Amino acid sequence: MNFKNKFLYSVTKNILSKNNTFKGFHRGESCYFFGNAKSLKYYDLSLFNDKVSIGCNFLFLHKDFNNAGVNYYYNGDPFFLYPYAKNLYTKKFKKNTIGKLFVQKVKENPDINYFINISDYPMLRGKNIFYLHHFGEHFTDYSQCGLDTAFTATKSALSGMLGIAIYLGFKDATLVGFDHLLKPKASEHFYEYGKLDQVYEPTALHENFLIEAQKFLNLRVVSPNDSYKGHIIPHINYEHLTGNRALFRENTEIIENRDLEKLRNSDFGFSITKNEFLNNNPGKLNLL
């Protein structure tokens, strides 16, 4: 660590020590991860409440969220909750409507343990709010990635959830809504307009984290149908896993209109409406 990060660690280590209570808490258990991919528009999340679950990002916008049995939630983006922030899409500083929405949903779901970046400590506190940070350290492997020290697996939501699950002691995880781990994969998110598409890419996003995590966890990813196969890790068909057929629901059916409007006004380039989808995805009329 450089001097700045050593100082930051010294003034926050007592806050991070609160995370010790989770070490090995679920040793030997199985869990679900919930991503934010478009395949969630086809799944009944209540069919996954038989195990402990870890969610991320905007999962709590889904109307099935309260029936999914989510116990833990991760968002490691720094300065994510401040009133004004740099928009990652427009690169401009503006009112942070996304952060405000996140805080609102956290307060509406007080029984979940949230892991957020230590930079947002001034913005959100509570007995169920826990913090993490990398302190300038680079990821090497998950054995050196602790919730109570330098949490270096912050490259993506998936890498962070893997680090949390390993720290908690889970033995295996079934990944739901992680379409970038399928081949072909589907683009966009469950809160965006349209049906599943098929995008062929040679490698999975942040593949190194996934490979390293398999030293600690047995992993599999849920696929919406037999047209999508596991890439890097094995897959299991949704119908085979749950006994139910995958049924498409549009974003307006699974998300409250007021929340969709907040996403539209965030200027993050989301394809919330049909017209936005057509503008952002020319040539994909077959997905309407």
Judged against a pLDDT cut of 80, whether residue 206 lies above it is answered with no
Mean pLDDT of 51-76: 96
pTM equals: 0.94
Asked whether 44 and 242 are in contact (CB, 8 A), the reply is: yes
90-115: burial string, b at 16+ Cβ within 10 Å, e else? eeeeeebbbbebbeebbeebeebbbb
At residue 213's C-alpha, the angle toward residues 209 and 218, to 5°, is 135
Judged against a pLDDT cut of 50, whether residue 288 lies above it is answered with no
Q: Which of 79, 34, 93 is nearest to 58 (CA)?
A: 34
pLDDT of residue 285: 52
Mean pLDDT of 55-59: 97
In eight-state DSSP terms, residue 263 is H
Mean pLDDT of 141-159: 94
Mean pLDDT of 219-238: 95
Mean pLDDT of 100-120: 96
Asked whether 124 and 81 are in contact (CB, 8 A), the reply is: yes
Who's near 129: CB < 8 A, 6+ residues apart?
Answer: 106, 114, 116
Least confident of 31-35, 189-193, 262-266: 262-266
Element (H, E) at 259: helix 257-264
pLDDT of residue 111: 95
